[in-house]
Chain A
Amino acid sequence: MTLLEVTLLVPLLGGVLLAIVGHRPVAGWINVAVGVVTFGAALAMALEVFADGPQLSPSRMFYIDAFNVYLVVLTAFVGLTTSIFSRPYMRHEVERGRVTDRRLRLYHSMYQCFLFSMLLALSTNNLGVLWVAMELATLTTVLLVSLYRTPEAIEAAWKYFILCGVGIAQALFGTVLIYFAAESKLGAGRDDTLLWTVLHDMAGGSLDPAVITLAFVFLLVGYGTKVGLVPLHNWLPDAHSEGPTPMSAVLSGLLLNVALYALVRVKMLVDASLHTNLAGQLMMGFGLLSFTVAGLFLHRQHDVKRMFSYSSIEHMGLITFGFGVGGPLATFGALLHMTVHSLTKSAIFVTVGHACQLAGTQRIDQIRGLIRTQPAIGWGLLLGTVAIAGFPPFGVFISEFLLLMATMKSWPWLTIPLLAGFGVAFAGLFRHMQRMVFGEPPPGQKPVEANMLPVVVHLALVLWLGLAIPGFLSRWFEQATILISGASPL
């Protein structure tokens, strides 16, 4: 059994196992154990790829190169740390009576199935299967968003289901169009026409430009909906804020990345056959729009999880913009930003989850004095926000700085909206932070059982990436950058 098979099968079997035992107290530990095994296998596979180069599975159904392997590792890692956090969190939710045994079982099982679908989406070589896995990721999470069964949660889940459904259907159509374009070149009757490796090898100038442009527009709308690009973002703040917090962490931290990964994979094909920067320019436009609009929306939020969801849209917009700018430097920056945003945002959601349990509400104006009641949560939230706002010495600063540099080099005028956007987002985040963290705690506010290990590990990693990107990681990013942009940034 190869490492890839382990990485994929363990979460799937874990999901099945947890569907049976998911309501017992031991389930939280099983969840963690599955996460550990998945992460171990992913890491080992990454080292293999790092040493031997890209791997194509014998059936050609799976393809692992430097680009997706690092996302596989990141997904497995955040999946693991979030499962560590979710164990005490969900127990607390059960004690408060918000979650019944049946729903807890559903939660545990779907958590692993969700991780499986993301890993499948990342590792598959077939664009059709990629779509199937993306849709599966929606299907596995939609019942988790409505886990609390409040009217708000149901509304959020329905919006998530419907809007993502509409969006992702466009992506399927785009996939059909790519297949159409490829088949007219490769001839009918082949069953490997949708394989990314086959398409990429033949793409150089031979796919019909009209079809491939149309396909990219549909795919951009489709996967862009899942990335949360404005104006297709409506579902995102709802879905990310109404579900249980561990779900928010993995949705914001991981699923957005996976959707963007799909988009970038397609962009690589489109660039190779169009020889223009059309795809990049479209992505830049959508990215910049999302970045700006989401930054402004940060200011109107009254729900802390909603606020950070908008922050996710903002950062995904920035990353999309970075991939759109193209070129080695921007691509490197975007890849780095994907990583640090994932780590930071999931850490923030973990902290926010505990903070909400502490205050008994998600409303910003009712969360007060975290640092006095429970310093760990207060500091965690403060540092997380500092990190996500792009302060040095955290990694987000480095990646944003790189993106800014790259923009200045190729589109100097666009640095102005970017800088303005940073300022707006910063102000939006910090106008509420001070009172939430430092203010006077309401009487009777008591500490909760919290596991801050994931937060500490994530923020430490982000800090490390900010101070010095370790050599193996930078070489890894470099390989991915060469794959995507065709040149080395260093």
Chain B
Amino acid sequence: MSNLTRRSPRIEAQSWLEPLPAKTRLSFRGGPDAIAAASHGFGVNLSTDACRAASANDRAALWLGPDEYLLLAPESDAAAVRTTLAEALGEIPHSIVDISHRHAAFVVKGPQAEWLLGGGCPLDLDLAAFPVGMCTRTVYMKSEIYLWRTAADAFHIETWRSFTPYVVDHLIDAARECGG
């Protein structure tokens, strides 16, 4: 089995597109007690406000639903994150699923970022309606994406890995229109 290598979708960097390295991703679900304990164990205060992300020390917690979060950490932290979360959560009912390999991530950045995403995402991405720190699950064309605004002109995007070429190709198509 040693000759099997993990295939990841290839994303070509562009001036406005930055592929992100592999990450540890956990789907976390639980009630208010579990959310408080997970904040302690993960080292990031999980937002209880709708559609808000919180980050600290290379880790981030994205609010996806009232009891659902996506936890992001560097790939090398996988074991540490699971251990500290398990210690903090103890017997509190919750669910943690490792979905590290389900997604590929990249950043769309630059002054055209909003416009490029607007080509396929029906959300209002104006800074007033979608401020920095807002995150949500939504759609890009027909694919589900996770969208997180990390700066006024930068969006962190997670897609299911098999949908990544679809999303990236549509973005490249949109970029052609504005000379990217």
Q: Is chain B a partner of chain A in the same complex? A: no
Which A residues are within 8 Å of any B CB, using their own CB? none
B-side interface residues toward A, CB under 8 Å? none
